[in-house]
Amino acid sequence: MTRRISILGSTGSIGVSTLRLLDEVGGDFAIEALIGGRNVDLLAQQALKYRPAITVLADPSQWSALRDRLAGSGLEIACGEDAVCAAAGRKSDLVMAAIVGIAGLKPTWAAAGTGAILALANKESLVCCGRALIERVEAHGGRVLPVDSEHNAIFQVLDVNQKDKVARLVLTASGGPFWGRSRAELGQVTVEQALKHPNWSMGAKITIDSATLANKGLELIEAAYLFDMPGEKIDVVIHPQSVVHSLVEYRDGSSLAQLGPPDMRVPISYCLGWPERVAWQAPKLDLVGMKTLTFAAPDESAFPMLRLAREALAAGEGMTTVFNAANEVCVQAFLDRRIGFLQIAEYVETAMMRAQLPSISSKDHTSRDMSVQGIAFALDIDAQVRRLVADLFFSARQHV
């Protein structure tokens, strides 16, 4: 039977890898929706190759460019945020949710209401919506499969029927390009240096998040929601070789880990094949050639984002949204060379101290999972924090 697959963020790092893997292992599949942000050329090429039922570009100013590129193809196209959400909410069998940042929240939420398997790469939507996103997927008969390599590793080795026998989850972190540097040394790092990840090839936002360890902070929160585990039972260990992708430590003394080369196609292929494993020309681990695998405790004084993420998780869902929003604005400001590397964490910490969280009543909580109202809470906080951080940037400029 033909499987219908939608890809949200098809022109990004995860989206492109997903399409390549589908060529290799997808079996009988058809593309329902391809959704991109701004890259008209790549989206048009993908549309011509895969002939999706709908092709959507988020940026409305490029509507005519997309129309011209696809003229005469007979393909249905649309532009703008509403069209993105409508396409994401179309019936399909599997959705790869791989838009970056909070921009992914509404489309991922729409996809969560379709009953499809949700291969979730867009970690920011989970960090902001907590368990509501997972509950929405399950209430509609779907299933969340984590794409993030650490969570995919845990998903593969966690015995859900014996969760009470789990001592802790251990997330591994490469440490990024600046691992081993002191806080003083980090003051001078450049955007170019931060964009050079030693092991993984990824989009710009997550690459900066890896350099500050905010990525591991987001992953800590992601793990707590995905596996319904308290933050105290989730540890982070620096493992610069990125071979052990994460572990579950059981109370009987056994730790189960998933190993593999640092290549996102491995967890993506697991999601595409689930519940079976697919056979493809996957890169192999060379255990003997590897020589050493090392592990170290994270340095939270040089990399405070991990501590801040832990504090946000302890404070609750509203605060994880604050952490995410402030980080997203600061990463963009760093990429635009408006703030320095160390200022990312400084502004995030200030935003966490100053944000006014709306109180959510228990009624809001129970009505959260089913309707669009479910994400209004997160979107309100996100908007408030963006204004707050913009004001902080503005006052900082007045004082120089």
**Which residues contact residue 400 at a Cβ distance below 8 angstroms, ignoring those fewer than 6 apart?**
none
Are the CB atoms for 111 and 138 separated by under 8 Å? no
Query: Please, what is the minimum distance in Å from the beta carbon of residue 287 to ligand NAD?
Result: 23
Question: Per-residue DSSP letters for 273-319?
Answer: HTTSPPP--PPPP-HHHH-----B---TTT-THHHHHHHHHHH-HHH
**CA 303 from chain center: how many Å?**
20
Spell out the SS3 assignment of 91-143: CCCEEEECCCCHHHHHHHHHHHCCCCEEEECCHHHHHHHCHHHHHHHHHCCCE
User: Using CB under 6 A, which of 29, 86, 157, 200 touches ligand NAD?
Assistant: 200
Distance of alpha carbon 317 from alpha carbon 203, whole angstroms? 26
| Under rule CB under 5 A, residue 382 binds Mg ion | no
Answer whether 182's CB lies under 8 Å from 277's CB.
Answer: no
Radius of gyration of the chain (CA): 21
Q: Which of 134, 144, 186, 206 binds ligand NAD (CB under 6 A)?
A: 206
Size of the residue set binding Mg ion (CB under 5 A):
3
User: Which residue type does 351 have?
Assistant: A
Least separation, in Å, of the C-beta of 111 and ligand NAD?
12
Element (H or E) spanning 247, and its range? strand 244-250
Q: Is 14 in the site for ligand NAD (CB under 6 A)?
A: yes
Q: Which of 80, 115, 198, 203 is the binder for ligand NAD (CB under 6 A)?
A: 203
Q: With CB under 6 A as the contact rule, which of the stretches 66-74, 198-206, 276-284, 374-382 interacts with ligand NAD?
A: 198-206
**If DSSP codes are grouped into helix, strand and coil, which group holds residue 165?**
helix
CB 131 within 8 A of CB 235: no
Return the exposure string of 45-65: e unless at least 16 CB atoms fall within 10 Å of the residue's CB, then b. Answer: ebbeebebbbbbbbbeebbeb
Q: Is residue 36 a contact point for ligand NAD (CB under 6 A)?
A: yes
Which of 93, 148, 369, 382 touches Mg ion (CB under 5 A)?
148
Q: In this complex, which beta carbon is closest to ligand NAD, that of residue 128 or of residue 166?
A: 128
Binding segment for Mg ion (CB under 5 A), chosen from 47-55, 148-156, 288-296, 329-337, is 148-156
Our finding on whether 148 is near ligand NAD (CB under 6 A) is: yes
Instruction: Using CB positions, name the residue nearest to Mg ion.
Output: 148
User: Which of 216/368 has CB closer to Mg ion?
Assistant: 216
Asked whether 190 and 233 are in contact (CB, 8 A), the reply is: no
> According to CB under 5 A, which residues from 269 to 288 bind Mg ion?
none
Candidates 7-15, 248-256, 356-364, 379-387 — which segment interacts with ligand NAD by CB under 6 A? 7-15
**Residue 6 found at the interface with ligand NAD (CB under 6 A):** no
Q: Is 124 in the site for Mg ion (CB under 5 A)?
A: no
The option from ligand NAD, Mg ion, none interacting with 280 (CB < 5 to 8 A, set by class) reads: none
Contact flag: residue 83 with ligand NAD (CB under 6 A)? no
Instruction: Name which of residues 87 to 106 contact ligand NAD (CB under 6 A).
Output: 98-100, 103
Enumerate binding residues for ligand NAD (CB under 6 A): 9-15, 35-39, 58, 84, 98-100, 103, 121-124, 148, 200, 202-203, 206, 264
Enumerate binding residues for Mg ion (CB under 5 A): 148-150
